[in-house]
Amino acid sequence: MKRRNFIRLSLFTSIYLSTNINAKQNILNKKKLIIPKLNIGILKNGIRNFDMQIKESNHIFFNGYITNTYGINQNYLGETIKLTNNETVSINYTNNLKEAVTMHGHGMHLPASQDGTAHQSILPNRSWSSKFKVNQKACTNWYHSHAMNKTAEHVYKGLAGLIIIEDNEINNLQLPKDYGKDDIPLILQDRFFDQNGQLYYKPQMREVMMGYTSNTLVANGVIDPYIEVETKIIRFRILNGSNSSIYNLSFNDYRTFFQIATDNSLLEAPVELYNLILSPGERAEILVDFSEDLDESISLVDRRFGKSFLNILVNKEVATSTEIPNKLTTLKKYSKKDVVNTRYFELSGSMGKFNINGVSMDINYINESVPINSIEIWEIKNDMMMTHNFHIHATHFMIIQRDGKVSNVLNNEKGYKDTVRIPGGESVKFIVKMVDYKDKKIPYMYHCHFLEHEDAGMMGQFIVV
């Protein structure tokens, strides 16, 4: 499948196009993109162990300033955990902070007791292990603190990292897979800093309502970094790791690219795009063809602010490159005729408090009881004029309608997902089936993944029975 360039000349494009020597030198004067270390664990007695140290640290966002941060095995954010389907693992978190945290495997299909929600709190100087058999297809997930009323602040300070799951199917596809070289992780965030270069997290009521958003864009903990790549197809694993920002991503020259995966699965076939919208918590894997761009520099930008997340310098020629496959996978799909129940969820709020179905989060209350192996439709209606999204733990779903119409479901969101964006006044229906794990005491959670909204009550709990 060949790339078709989509070029639209504009003032914006002319500002960002960087094809001369001075522009390239300017890029090299920026900081290099940090690639989180790939942690493949250590095999002990048939169990692959990952030892993760949660700690206070410091990080340089600005030259001349040392910023206090949190990190997991590194100074800011966490190492990338690589898992393989059907392997038994133990992810062992040790909390070296002065406050309690949790570590939730966002997108992971595992028992409720291993989910890492507020019910699995890790006290200071204590450890907790999430032990399970990997039981899902290849995808890009992530892990982050999910402490009650503290999720937003903890993630803001750096408690988040990627999880890559691989399986035989994806390994047999001719996709870029050299981590950090042609398979590049991107955790995209925006952050406020004070005059001393410290992370500034003090949202007022309006910022809780509207979301805590900044126009200082950060990729893998670096502001406006660069990366050097070869003249080939490059795969980017993109996470919107922000607290509350919706990113409208594209390249400065409006080139097309191909999305190959959503939150929890491959798409059945690549989808050609020239922009990608991701709300907090959503992931996408994309392929970009740089085979004809030797000595060019291209930027990945957020169109909201017209600012760069990442500068890409194509500076090494290679003779061969992988082709973009026409077919990726065949997804198992549930039939609407087998649906046994429909659940309705209304998102609302005012004055700094948020609700789902009229009630705010209560850790001692179970909002829903879901039978295992029952196929259901969940309809989420956003009663507010601002955008929200909806994330569900334990499983993944497939979107079947947007605002009452099948045709409103975009081609690039027709894979399995765990987080869905819902604009103000609109609704989404998805089909879902809880499988494998049941627990009548320990709940999973569903919530808006705008983290300020989650902490302010837009969250509920369900058990699988």
pLDDT digits 0-9 by tens, 346-377: 999 998 899 999 999 999 999 999 999 999 99
Contact 67, 60 (CB under 8 A): yes
What's the CATH number where 371 sits? 2.60.40.420
| Within-domain flag for 3 | no
Residues 149 and 237 in one domain: no
- In this predicted structure, the answer to whether residue 176 has a pLDDT above a threshold of 90 is yes
Half-sphere exposure of 142 (CA within 13 A, CB side): 31
Residue 452, domain member (yes or no): yes
Read off the pLDDT of residues 185-216 as tens digits, 9 standing for 90 and up: 999 999 999 999 999 999 999 999 999 999 99
In terms of domains, do 401 and 344 share one?
yes
Q: What is the pLDDT of residues 215-224, one digit of tens each?
A: 999 999 999 9
3-state secondary structure (DSSP) of residue 422: strand
Give the separation between CA 450 and CA 436, rounded to whole angstroms: 28
Structural domain harbouring 400: 336-464
pLDDT averaged over every residue in the chain:
93
Rounded CA gap, 131 and 110, in Å?
A: 9
Measured CA to CA, the distance from residue 415 to residue 434 in angstroms comes to 17
Please report whether residue 244 resides in a domain. yes
pLDDT digits (tens, 9 = 90+) for 403-460: 999 999 999 999 999 999 999 999 999 999 999 999 999 999 999 999 999 999 999 9
Whether the per-residue pLDDT at 462 is higher than 80: the answer is: yes
255 half-sphere exposure, CB direction, 13 A CA radius: 22
Name the DSSP class of 120: G
Q: What domain count does the chain have? A: 3
H or E stretch including 455? Answer: helix 451-455
Question: Is 404 in the same domain as 445?
Answer: yes
Is 93 in contact with 120 (CB distance < 8 Å)? Answer: no
Question: 41-75, pLDDT tens digit by residue?
Answer: 999 999 999 999 999 999 999 999 999 999 999 99
Beta bridge partners of 94: 53, 127
Tokens describing residue 203: 């949202």
Comparison of pLDDT for 417 and 304, the residue scoring more? 417
Taking the C-alpha atoms of residue 163 and residue 396, their distance in angstroms, rounded to an integer, is 16
The answer on 61 and 148 residing in a single domain is yes
Give 401's pLDDT tier (boundaries 50, 70, 90).
Answer: very high
One domain for residues 179 and 300: yes
Q: Is 38 exposed, middle or buried (0-12, 13-18, 19+ CB in 10 A)?
A: middle
Q: Final residue of a domain: which of 169, 193, 212?
A: 169
DSSP state, residue 335? -
363 and 432 together in one domain = yes
The reply to whether 17 falls in a domain is: no
Cβ-count burial of 45 within 10 angstroms (0-12 exposed, 13-18 middle, 19+ buried)?
exposed
Q: Report which DSSP code applies to 122.
A: B
Phi, psi of 74 (to 5 degrees): -155, 180
Q: 169, 184, 213 — which closes off a domain?
A: 169
In a domain, 32, yes or no: no
User: Model confidence at 29, in pLDDT bands (50, 70, 90)?
Assistant: confident
Residues 110 and 182 in one domain: no
Are 312 and 345 in a shared domain?
A: no
Torsion from C-alpha of 453, 305, 424, 368, nearest 10 degrees = -30
Q: Point out the domain boundary residue: 169, 184, 203.
A: 169
- φ/ψ bin of 73: left (φ > 0), alpha (ψ from -120 to 50), beta (otherwise): left
**Residue 118 placed within a domain:** yes
**Do 185 and 124 share a structural domain?**
no
Residue 237 lies in a domain: yes
Counted residue by residue, the chain has a size of 465
> How many whole angstroms separate alpha carbon 270 and alpha carbon 451?
31
Does position 9 have pLDDT exceeding 50, yes or no?
no
Q: Are 399 and 278 found together in one domain?
A: no
| Structural domain contains residue 312 | yes
**pLDDT at residue 17 is higher than 50:** no
Residue 157 and residue 105 in one domain? yes
The letter for the amino acid at 86 is N
Residue 189 shares a structural domain with residue 165: no
